[in-house]
A and B are shown apart, each in its own frame.
Chain A
Amino acid sequence: MVLGEESNWLPQVRRGVAEHCVLALLAGGEKYGFELARELGARGQIIASEGTLYPLLARLRRNGLVETSWRESTSGPPRRYYHLTSGGEIALATFKKQWRVFRDAVDEILEEGDHK
Protein backbone atom coordinates (compact mmCIF):
# COMPACT_ATOMS: atom_id res chain seq x y z
CA MET A 1 0.00 0.00 0.00
CA VAL A 2 1.30 3.40 -0.98
CA LEU A 3 0.84 5.85 1.85
CA GLY A 4 -0.06 9.47 1.38
CA GLU A 5 -2.38 9.25 -1.57
CA GLU A 6 -5.92 10.06 -0.63
CA SER A 7 -7.28 7.20 -2.69
CA ASN A 8 -5.63 4.67 -0.42
CA TRP A 9 -6.79 5.52 3.02
CA LEU A 10 -9.93 7.59 2.62
CA PRO A 11 -12.26 4.93 1.14
CA GLN A 12 -11.24 2.56 3.90
CA VAL A 13 -11.92 5.05 6.68
CA ARG A 14 -15.10 6.18 4.98
CA ARG A 15 -16.57 2.72 4.97
CA GLY A 16 -17.22 2.65 8.69
CA VAL A 17 -17.51 6.35 9.36
CA ALA A 18 -20.05 7.32 6.68
CA GLU A 19 -22.59 4.82 8.01
CA HIS A 20 -22.44 6.39 11.43
CA CYS A 21 -22.67 9.90 10.01
CA VAL A 22 -25.92 8.81 8.38
CA LEU A 23 -27.16 7.49 11.71
CA ALA A 24 -26.20 10.82 13.31
CA LEU A 25 -28.11 12.79 10.65
CA LEU A 26 -31.16 10.64 11.35
CA ALA A 27 -30.92 11.19 15.11
CA GLY A 28 -32.80 14.48 14.68
CA GLY A 29 -35.71 12.79 12.94
CA GLU A 30 -36.57 10.91 9.78
CA LYS A 31 -35.19 11.97 6.41
CA TYR A 32 -35.45 10.77 2.82
CA GLY A 33 -32.54 9.73 0.64
CA PHE A 34 -32.18 12.86 -1.44
CA GLU A 35 -32.12 15.02 1.68
CA LEU A 36 -29.43 12.87 3.29
CA ALA A 37 -27.39 12.76 0.09
CA ARG A 38 -27.41 16.54 -0.20
CA GLU A 39 -26.48 17.07 3.45
CA LEU A 40 -23.60 14.62 3.24
CA GLY A 41 -22.54 15.74 -0.23
CA ALA A 42 -22.44 19.39 0.82
CA ARG A 43 -19.88 18.62 3.51
CA GLY A 44 -17.59 16.78 1.15
CA GLN A 45 -15.41 13.74 1.87
CA ILE A 46 -17.96 11.77 3.90
CA ILE A 47 -19.36 9.94 0.86
CA ALA A 48 -17.55 9.48 -2.45
CA SER A 49 -20.61 10.61 -4.45
CA GLU A 50 -24.30 11.09 -3.70
CA GLY A 51 -25.23 7.78 -5.32
CA THR A 52 -23.00 5.74 -3.00
CA LEU A 53 -25.34 6.70 -0.17
CA TYR A 54 -27.99 4.26 -1.38
CA PRO A 55 -26.07 0.99 -1.05
CA LEU A 56 -25.03 2.26 2.35
CA LEU A 57 -28.65 2.92 3.37
CA ALA A 58 -29.64 -0.52 2.07
CA ARG A 59 -26.95 -2.03 4.28
CA LEU A 60 -28.10 -0.09 7.36
CA ARG A 61 -31.64 -1.26 6.71
CA ARG A 62 -30.56 -4.85 6.30
CA ASN A 63 -28.62 -4.67 9.55
CA GLY A 64 -31.68 -3.35 11.37
CA LEU A 65 -30.15 0.04 12.24
CA VAL A 66 -32.73 2.01 10.25
CA GLU A 67 -36.26 1.36 9.08
CA THR A 68 -38.11 2.93 6.19
CA SER A 69 -41.59 4.07 5.30
CA TRP A 70 -42.94 5.34 1.99
CA ARG A 71 -44.65 8.71 1.97
CA GLU A 72 -46.30 10.61 -0.88
CA SER A 73 -44.61 13.84 -1.88
CA THR A 74 -46.34 16.95 -3.18
CA SER A 75 -43.58 17.77 -5.65
CA GLY A 76 -42.30 14.51 -7.08
CA PRO A 77 -42.18 10.72 -6.74
CA PRO A 78 -43.11 9.03 -3.43
CA ARG A 79 -40.28 9.25 -0.93
CA ARG A 80 -38.76 6.54 1.19
CA TYR A 81 -38.16 7.99 4.64
CA TYR A 82 -35.46 6.53 6.87
CA HIS A 83 -35.59 6.58 10.64
CA LEU A 84 -33.40 5.14 13.39
CA THR A 85 -34.31 1.93 15.16
CA SER A 86 -33.32 1.40 18.80
CA GLY A 87 -30.44 -0.69 17.46
CA GLY A 88 -29.38 2.29 15.36
CA GLU A 89 -29.49 4.58 18.38
CA ILE A 90 -27.27 2.22 20.36
CA ALA A 91 -24.83 1.89 17.46
CA LEU A 92 -24.65 5.67 17.16
CA ALA A 93 -24.05 6.19 20.88
CA THR A 94 -21.26 3.59 20.87
CA PHE A 95 -19.68 5.12 17.78
CA LYS A 96 -19.71 8.61 19.30
CA LYS A 97 -17.75 7.45 22.34
CA GLN A 98 -15.25 5.44 20.33
CA TRP A 99 -14.83 8.08 17.66
CA ARG A 100 -13.85 10.76 20.19
CA VAL A 101 -11.18 8.54 21.71
CA PHE A 102 -9.95 7.55 18.24
CA ARG A 103 -9.88 11.12 16.96
CA ASP A 104 -8.07 12.42 20.05
CA ALA A 105 -5.49 9.66 19.76
CA VAL A 106 -4.82 10.45 16.09
CA ASP A 107 -4.62 14.20 16.80
CA GLU A 108 -2.23 13.63 19.66
CA ILE A 109 0.08 11.51 17.54
CA LEU A 110 0.02 14.01 14.69
CA GLU A 111 0.78 16.91 17.03
CA GLU A 112 3.65 15.05 18.67
CA GLY A 113 5.07 14.52 15.22
CA ASP A 114 4.84 18.26 14.52
CA HIS A 115 6.83 19.19 17.65
CA LYS A 116 9.78 16.95 16.89
Chain B
Amino acid sequence: MTSRQSLGQADKLVRNYLAQLDAALRGVESSRREEILTEVRGHIEEGRSGLDPDDAASVRALLDRVGDPAAIAAEAGAPSAASRRWDAWAPWLIIFGPLASGLGWLAGVLLLWISPTWSRRDKLIATIVPPAGLVALFFGLVTALHAAASSCSGTTTCTTSKITLPLGVAIPLAVAGLAAHLLPPIHLMRTRHRASR
Protein backbone atom coordinates (compact mmCIF):
# COMPACT_ATOMS: atom_id res chain seq x y z
CA MET B 1 0.00 0.00 0.00
CA THR B 2 1.29 3.45 -0.87
CA SER B 3 0.03 5.12 2.31
CA ARG B 4 1.93 2.66 4.45
CA GLN B 5 5.03 3.17 2.41
CA SER B 6 4.87 6.95 2.60
CA LEU B 7 4.19 6.80 6.33
CA GLY B 8 7.53 5.08 6.76
CA GLN B 9 9.16 7.53 4.43
CA ALA B 10 7.85 10.60 6.25
CA ASP B 11 8.97 9.19 9.60
CA LYS B 12 12.37 8.45 8.15
CA LEU B 13 12.71 12.02 6.86
CA VAL B 14 11.98 13.38 10.32
CA ARG B 15 14.35 10.93 11.99
CA ASN B 16 17.15 11.79 9.56
CA TYR B 17 16.58 15.48 10.02
CA LEU B 18 16.73 15.24 13.81
CA ALA B 19 19.88 13.11 13.61
CA GLN B 20 21.52 15.74 11.40
CA LEU B 21 20.52 18.47 13.81
CA ASP B 22 21.85 16.47 16.76
CA ALA B 23 25.18 16.04 14.97
CA ALA B 24 25.32 19.72 14.00
CA LEU B 25 24.77 20.71 17.63
CA ARG B 26 27.93 18.91 18.77
CA GLY B 27 29.92 21.14 21.06
CA VAL B 28 26.86 22.99 22.32
CA GLU B 29 26.48 22.56 26.06
CA SER B 30 24.38 19.42 26.62
CA SER B 31 21.36 20.83 28.47
CA ARG B 32 21.05 23.53 25.82
CA ARG B 33 21.46 20.99 23.03
CA GLU B 34 18.72 18.87 24.59
CA GLU B 35 16.42 21.88 24.94
CA ILE B 36 16.81 22.85 21.28
CA LEU B 37 16.34 19.28 20.06
CA THR B 38 13.21 18.82 22.17
CA GLU B 39 11.75 22.05 20.90
CA VAL B 40 12.49 21.35 17.24
CA ARG B 41 11.10 17.81 17.62
CA GLY B 42 7.94 19.29 19.16
CA HIS B 43 7.74 21.86 16.38
CA ILE B 44 7.85 19.13 13.74
CA GLU B 45 5.23 17.03 15.53
CA GLU B 46 3.04 20.08 15.88
CA GLY B 47 3.50 20.87 12.20
CA ARG B 48 2.67 17.32 11.15
CA SER B 49 -0.54 17.31 13.19
CA GLY B 50 -1.71 20.26 11.08
CA LEU B 51 -1.25 18.48 7.76
CA ASP B 52 -1.44 14.97 6.36
CA PRO B 53 1.24 13.55 8.66
CA ASP B 54 2.07 10.61 6.38
CA ASP B 55 2.58 12.57 3.20
CA ALA B 56 6.30 12.63 2.52
CA ALA B 57 6.13 15.69 0.26
CA SER B 58 4.40 17.88 2.83
CA VAL B 59 6.72 16.65 5.58
CA ARG B 60 9.65 17.57 3.36
CA ALA B 61 8.19 21.05 2.89
CA LEU B 62 7.72 21.33 6.66
CA LEU B 63 11.37 20.41 7.26
CA ASP B 64 12.45 22.95 4.62
CA ARG B 65 10.73 25.65 6.62
CA VAL B 66 12.40 24.48 9.82
CA GLY B 67 15.59 25.01 7.86
CA ASP B 68 19.18 23.89 7.50
CA PRO B 69 20.44 22.16 10.68
CA ALA B 70 23.74 23.98 10.24
CA ALA B 71 21.96 27.35 10.45
CA ILE B 72 20.19 26.31 13.65
CA ALA B 73 23.48 25.09 15.09
CA ALA B 74 25.21 28.34 14.14
CA GLU B 75 22.46 30.30 15.90
CA ALA B 76 23.07 28.09 18.95
CA GLY B 77 26.74 29.04 18.85
CA ALA B 78 27.96 25.56 17.86
CA PRO B 79 31.65 25.48 17.03
CA SER B 80 32.34 25.28 13.31
CA ALA B 81 33.78 22.26 11.54
CA ALA B 82 37.11 24.10 11.32
CA SER B 83 37.61 23.77 15.07
CA ARG B 84 37.50 19.97 14.74
CA ARG B 85 39.84 19.47 11.83
CA TRP B 86 42.70 18.18 14.02
CA ASP B 87 40.57 15.78 16.01
CA ALA B 88 41.86 12.66 14.25
CA TRP B 89 45.43 13.40 15.34
CA ALA B 90 44.99 13.87 19.08
CA PRO B 91 44.49 10.21 20.15
CA TRP B 92 47.37 8.93 18.00
CA LEU B 93 49.75 11.59 19.28
CA ILE B 94 48.80 10.72 22.85
CA ILE B 95 49.58 7.05 22.22
CA PHE B 96 52.78 7.34 20.15
CA GLY B 97 53.91 10.86 21.01
CA PRO B 98 55.76 9.88 24.22
CA LEU B 99 57.63 7.08 22.42
CA ALA B 100 58.93 9.31 19.61
CA SER B 101 59.49 12.47 21.62
CA GLY B 102 57.78 14.30 24.43
CA LEU B 103 56.85 17.04 21.97
CA GLY B 104 54.54 14.71 20.06
CA TRP B 105 52.63 13.98 23.23
CA LEU B 106 52.47 17.68 24.08
CA ALA B 107 51.03 18.43 20.64
CA GLY B 108 48.44 15.68 21.13
CA VAL B 109 47.33 17.10 24.46
CA LEU B 110 47.13 20.60 22.97
CA LEU B 111 44.95 19.40 20.08
CA LEU B 112 42.81 17.49 22.56
CA TRP B 113 42.11 20.55 24.69
CA ILE B 114 41.39 23.01 21.87
CA SER B 115 38.82 20.72 20.27
CA PRO B 116 35.13 21.09 21.23
CA THR B 117 34.46 17.43 20.43
CA TRP B 118 35.25 15.90 23.82
CA SER B 119 33.96 16.59 27.30
CA ARG B 120 36.16 18.09 29.99
CA ARG B 121 36.11 14.79 31.82
CA ASP B 122 37.35 12.83 28.79
CA LYS B 123 40.07 15.41 28.22
CA LEU B 124 41.26 15.22 31.82
CA ILE B 125 41.36 11.43 31.77
CA ALA B 126 43.16 11.30 28.42
CA THR B 127 45.73 13.80 29.68
CA ILE B 128 46.55 12.19 33.03
CA VAL B 129 45.95 8.45 32.70
CA PRO B 130 48.05 7.50 29.62
CA PRO B 131 51.35 8.97 30.94
CA ALA B 132 50.74 7.30 34.31
CA GLY B 133 50.04 4.09 32.44
CA LEU B 134 53.28 4.42 30.53
CA VAL B 135 55.25 4.86 33.75
CA ALA B 136 53.56 1.78 35.24
CA LEU B 137 54.30 -0.17 32.05
CA PHE B 138 58.01 0.67 32.15
CA PHE B 139 58.32 0.11 35.85
CA GLY B 140 56.53 -3.23 35.54
CA LEU B 141 58.72 -4.34 32.63
CA VAL B 142 61.99 -3.33 34.29
CA THR B 143 61.18 -5.00 37.58
CA ALA B 144 59.88 -8.09 35.76
CA LEU B 145 63.17 -8.39 33.86
CA HIS B 146 65.04 -7.80 37.07
CA ALA B 147 63.02 -10.40 38.93
CA ALA B 148 63.58 -12.87 36.11
CA ALA B 149 67.32 -12.15 36.14
CA SER B 150 67.70 -12.36 39.91
CA SER B 151 65.73 -15.58 40.23
CA CYS B 152 68.36 -17.49 38.24
CA SER B 153 71.41 -16.25 40.12
CA GLY B 154 72.21 -16.32 43.82
CA THR B 155 70.99 -13.82 46.38
CA THR B 156 74.44 -12.41 47.06
CA THR B 157 75.11 -11.23 43.48
CA CYS B 158 71.71 -9.85 42.52
CA THR B 159 70.68 -7.52 45.37
CA THR B 160 72.00 -4.38 43.59
CA SER B 161 68.58 -2.92 42.67
CA LYS B 162 66.67 -0.60 44.99
CA ILE B 163 63.17 -1.81 44.33
CA THR B 164 62.23 -5.35 43.46
CA LEU B 165 58.83 -6.81 42.79
CA PRO B 166 57.93 -10.47 42.40
CA LEU B 167 57.02 -11.48 38.83
CA GLY B 168 53.43 -12.07 39.87
CA VAL B 169 53.12 -8.35 40.66
CA ALA B 170 55.42 -6.87 38.00
CA ILE B 171 53.70 -8.48 35.01
CA PRO B 172 50.12 -7.49 35.96
CA LEU B 173 51.44 -4.00 36.68
CA ALA B 174 52.91 -3.79 33.17
CA VAL B 175 49.68 -5.06 31.61
CA ALA B 176 47.58 -2.60 33.61
CA GLY B 177 49.98 0.17 32.58
CA LEU B 178 49.58 -0.73 28.91
CA ALA B 179 45.80 -0.71 29.25
CA ALA B 180 45.87 2.65 31.02
CA HIS B 181 48.05 4.04 28.25
CA LEU B 182 45.85 2.82 25.40
CA LEU B 183 42.26 2.85 26.63
CA PRO B 184 41.68 6.61 27.11
CA PRO B 185 42.88 7.50 23.56
CA ILE B 186 40.81 4.64 22.15
CA HIS B 187 37.83 6.05 24.03
CA LEU B 188 38.54 9.45 22.38
CA MET B 189 38.50 7.85 18.92
CA ARG B 190 35.21 6.12 19.62
CA THR B 191 33.55 9.25 21.01
CA ARG B 192 34.71 11.22 17.99
CA HIS B 193 33.45 8.56 15.63
CA ARG B 194 30.07 8.47 17.33
CA ALA B 195 29.78 12.26 17.29
CA SER B 196 30.59 12.57 13.60
CA ARG B 197 28.07 10.02 12.40
Interface residues of A (CB under 8 A from B): 33-34, 37, 41, 48-52, 54-58, 62, 75-80
Contacts and interface: CB of A to CB of B under 8 A. Distances in A.
A52 B75 contact: yes
17 contacts: A33-B39, A33-B43, A34-B43, A37-B43, A49-B66, A51-B43, A52-B72, A52-B75, A54-B36, A54-B72, A55-B72, A56-B75, A58-B32, A76-B45, A77-B42, A80-B38, A80-B42
Given A51-B21, A75-B49, 6 more contacts: A48-B67, A50-B67, A52-B67, A54-B36, A58-B32, A58-B35
A52 B71 CA distance: 7
A47 to B, nearest CB: 9
Query: Considering residues B36, B43, B66, B76, which has the most beta carbons from chain A within 10 angstroms of its beta carbon?
Result: B43
A-side interface mostly: helix
B46 interface: yes
A48 B68 CA distance: 9
Contact of B42 (A34, A52, A55): A34
A44 to B, nearest CB: 12
A78 B68 CA distance: 25
B40 interface: yes
B67 A49 contact: yes
B46 A51 contact: no
A49 B65 contact: yes
A73 to B, nearest CB: 8
Nearest to A80: B39
A54 B76 CA distance: 8
A55 B36 contact: yes
A53 B153 CA distance: 78
